[in-house]
Amino acid sequence: ALEQLRAANPDVEFTEAFNFVIPVDEEFHGSMELLYEGALLAVLVVWLFLRNGRATFISAVALPLSAIPAFIGMHYMGFSLNVVTLLALSLVIGILVDDAIVEVENIVRHQHMGKSPYQAAMEAADEIGLAVIATTFTLVAVFLPTAFMSGVAGRFFKQFGWTAALAVLASLVVARMLTPMMAAYLLKDAGHGEPPPGRLLRGYLRAAAWCLHHRLATVGGATAFFIGSLLLIPLLPTGFMPADDNPQSQVFVELPPGASLAQTRAAAETVRQLVAAVPYVRSVYTTIGGGTAGSDPLALSSGGGEVRKATLTLQLAQRSDRPVRKQVIEQDIRRVLQAVPGVRTKVGLGATGEKYILVLSGDDPQTLGSAARAVERDLRTIPGLGSVASSAALIRPEIAVRPDFAAAADLGVTTAAIGETLRIATLGDYDESLPKLNLAQRQVPMVVKLAADGRRDLTILERLAVPSVKAGVGPVRLGQVARLEFSSGPAVIDRYDRSRNVNFEIELSGLPLGDVAQAVQRLPSIRGLPFGVRQINIGDAEMMGELFASFGLAMLTGVLCIYIVLVLLFKDFLQPVTILAALPLSFGGGFVGLLVADKSFSMPSMIGLIMLMGVATKNSILLVEYAIVARREHGMSRAEALLDACRKRARPIVMTTLAMGAGMLPIAFGLGAADSSFRSPMAIAVIGGLVTSTLLSLLVIPVAYTYMDDFKVWGKRLWPLQGEMQ
């Protein structure tokens, strides 16, 4: 379309001032690249462990065959291939191959026992079937409750939760039906004799045996780790969503009420010259007044149609062409704009993660105004913040009309007539009342009003004729029935729940939203608000509170669903508790990862913690399920069964963990052209939690199993009748 316009208007030069489609396009292609990279790394991990090209191929086939049914489900649910759904697929890419890895590894192990590929596939699939089904439905029980969260976070999580659940269910079907069949006909005989355990496996088995013989010390260490994890939470910065690093920004310039268009234009040009000199600013596009063309289509315009406001839309250098984030450039812009007198400036698009909105509400304007001034003064003492803009500070000049009611009554002049006369003289009449100039094709309305100089001269306004409703009295001069004087008043009166309010728009300048909110609550003016004035949370602060509440409910629902699924599959009420014991061990690593990487505890990191819940229970299921089978079918003692489970299930647990971690490495390091601001905290939380949950689960879960087994035996002794009935 743009090329057609250029061809049709060769004398007009078209220059692209801004393009909000580019970040979306980069996000899409970046998500696809991360999907491919994660899949390749996950397959590479499988090959490094199995060193078998055919087994690796069988595991790799699970990736596309799990994603394609997920696309079909997304189509029927009305989901598009957007950033959210691609994010879900890129995060679960390591999980999709997990079931196939467990199946193939177990089949290869059975081959080493001297079985043919067909026999190994049949027996291994039967042996591992319950564990694979349990792990898959556990992951579904974790992801699906997030799709029903409320608020803004719920709208985001809906497509994420359903997409992840569909992909995981598809991977179960592939692992249970296709993987054994392919293994039976594609794998070759692996020879007789199971290879001896390596040095790492021998060291792990010694550590597991030590933990089983020192149960109190193991449980004490795990408890200390969990308590330490909880103590890390206050150290983490909190927020709703991290600020983006897209190559667009804006500068809003606001002059005092009553400023003219010429003054605004001069101030905007001064700001433009200063901003254009800042490093990594490529272009500046200025609009004055309404200026909707220069505003973010995803945010409300700050132009407001007033000539005292201007918007400068900035194109920054691409992420690959600059060594700093967008927030650093915006800080440089704020510093250079401090030299511009008489204007109020705001830097940034004002998107999520960039500003904090504080609202004071009350019914008494005087009390509210004095409280707002005290709060604004204290807000400027918080270090690191950008501009602090208060709606109470906007006082505009106005002409106050004070009627002389006695004289007006004698002359038959109403206050409505005075108001109508002044409105028509200063602004013009309503469109439907205007006279029309008839042309051949259309009518042109004609507005008649005083010149700008006349509107500022009180003597001219006092000579305006006001109609009288009294018989025999003609038009009356305005000065006879009213006194005019220059005055001032608020530029805007905002209301919230029918009460007056004052809005403070605070630029975060890279500071975490939660830290700023806590600093605001400690301000003396906030702690001592006068009677009748209250604080209201809106914007990101309100959504952050909703997010934490919804997230807690989703986690509790997920844990309950996991327990119900495990009870139904294992037909036992106690051993599912053993499996759930891995959950507290998974969060500590995620918190440490966020702390080391200096990432905030926000929506993306919470998504990572939800994923950790599923992965931690998956590892526990593989251990506990084999221990139960070994005791029931092979007649092993409890200690022998647990050590045998550790020996035979350690490799698939480590393989699936490394496959998932490898799939998330590109996301954690922010590789590719897409903005990693949202994805990176999520992947860092998952990778950190994977390390601790895997290491601790392999050592602590066998000990937890023994305690649950002792409790079960103790219960049977205490209630022998119930034990016999069971």
pLDDT tens for residues 524-560? 888 888 888 888 877 666 777 777 777 778 788 888 8
Give the span between the Cα atoms of 384 and 382, in whole angstroms: 7
Amino acid at 595: L
- Structural domain boundaries of the chain? 16-235+543-725, 396-490
pLDDT at 291 over 60: no
Give the span between the Cα atoms of 471 and 474, in whole angstroms: 8
Give the span between the Cα atoms of 445 and 438, in whole angstroms: 9
Please compute the mean of the pLDDT values over residues 641-666 and round it to a whole number. 84
Q: Nearest 10 degrees: CA dihedral of 463, 465, 466, 470?
A: 120
Give the span between the Cα atoms of 566 and 546, in whole angstroms: 30
Please compute the mean of the pLDDT values over residues 230-248 and round it to a whole number. 81
The full length of the chain comes to: 726
pLDDT at 726 over 50: no
Please compute the mean of the pLDDT values over residues 25-45 and round it to a whole number. 77
Please compute the mean of the pLDDT values over residues 430-454 and round it to a whole number. 82
Please compute the mean of the pLDDT values over residues 75-98 and round it to a whole number. 80
Question: How much is the pLDDT for 302?
Answer: 43
Stated pTM of the model = 0.72
pLDDT tens for residues 185-222? 888 876 555 666 778 888 888 999 999 898 999 999 98
pLDDT band (50, 70, 90) for residue 673: low
Give the 3-state secondary structure of 302-344. CCCCCCCEEEEEEEECCHHHCCCCHHHHHHHHHHHHCCCCCCE
Which tokens hold the place of 538?
Answer: 């809106």
pLDDT at 26 over 80: no
pLDDT at 173 over 70: yes
More confident residue, 355 or 266: 266
Please compute the mean of the pLDDT values over residues 36-48 and round it to a whole number. 80
Residue found by looking up tokens 């004698």 in the block: 410
% of the chain at pLDDT higher than 70: 93
Give the 3-state secondary structure of 554-581. HHHHHHHHHHHHHHHHHCCCCHHHHHHC
Question: How much is the pLDDT for 293?
Answer: 45
pLDDT tens for residues 59-83? 888 888 888 888 888 888 888 887 7
CB 599 within 8 A of CB 561: no
Give the span between the Cα atoms of 394 and 284, in whole angstroms: 27
Give the span between the Cα atoms of 710 and 718, in whole angstroms: 12
pLDDT tens for residues 301-318? 444 467 888 888 888 888
Q: Mean pLDDT for the chain?
A: 82
pLDDT tens for residues 354-400? 778 888 888 888 888 888 888 888 888 888 887 787 777 667 778 88
Amino acid at 294: G
Give the span between the Cα atoms of 400 and 451, in whole angstroms: 19
Give the span between the Cα atoms of 615 and 693, in whole angstroms: 8
- CATH match of 16-235+543-725 with 1.20.1640.10: yes
Please compute the mean of the pLDDT values over residues 34-61 and round it to a whole number. 81
Question: How much is the pLDDT for 394?
Answer: 67
CB 138 within 8 A of CB 616: no
354: nearest Cα among 236, 246, 244: 244
Please compute the mean of the pLDDT values over residues 212-240 and round it to a whole number. 87
pLDDT at 717 over 50: yes
Residue found by looking up tokens 């993660």 in the block: 353
The per-residue b/e assignment along 83-106, b for 16 or more CB within 10 angstroms, e otherwise, is bbbbbbbbbbbbbbbbbbbbbbbb
pLDDT at 492 over 50: yes
Question: How much is the pLDDT for 491?
Answer: 65
Read off φ and ψ for residue 350, nearest 5 degrees: 70, 25
Angle at 296 between CA 290 and CA 302, to 5 degrees: 40
pLDDT band (50, 70, 90) for residue 22: confident
Pairing verdict, β 436-438 and 482-490? unpaired
| 155-158 own/partner pairs: CB under 8 Å, 24+ apart | 156/84, 156/603, 157/554, 157/607
pLDDT at 644 over 80: yes
pLDDT at 722 over 70: no
pLDDT band (50, 70, 90) for residue 504: confident
Name 160's bridge partners: none
Question: How much is the pLDDT for 152?
Answer: 67
Give the span between the Cα atoms of 322 and 430, in whole angstroms: 53
How far lies 646's CA from each of 92, 193, 315, 521, 699, in Å? 26, 19, 57, 51, 9
Give the span between the Cα atoms of 309 and 252, in whole angstroms: 7
The per-residue b/e assignment along 705-719, b for 16 or more CB within 10 angstroms, e otherwise, is bbebbeebeeeeeee
pLDDT at 720 over 70: no
Please compute the mean of the pLDDT values over residues 462-484 and round it to a whole number. 87
CB 382 within 8 A of CB 340: no
Which tokens hold the place of 305?
Answer: 């149609």
251: nearest Cα among 504, 25, 18: 18
pLDDT band (50, 70, 90) for residue 297: very low
Exposed, middle or buried: residue 357 (CB in 10 Å: 0-12, 13-18, 19+)? middle
pLDDT at 292 over 50: no
Helix and strand numbers, DSSP H then E, in the chain: 28, 15
Measured in whole angstroms, how far is the alpha carbon of residue 61 from the centre of its chain? 32
Give the span between the Cα atoms of 171 and 525, in whole angstroms: 57
357: nearest Cα among 512, 539, 494: 539
- CATH match of 396-490 with 3.40.605.10: no
How far lies 465's CA from each of 417, 452, 456, 484, in Å? 10, 19, 17, 14
391: nearest Cα among 299, 306, 259, 493: 493
- Residue 360, SS3 per DSSP: strand
Ramachandran assignment for 315, one of left (phi > 0), alpha (psi -120 to 50 degrees), beta (any other): beta
Question: How much is the pLDDT for 270?
Answer: 92
pLDDT at 299 over 70: no
CB 248 within 8 A of CB 316: yes
511: nearest Cα among 520, 502, 503: 520
Residue found by looking up tokens 């038009």 in the block: 475
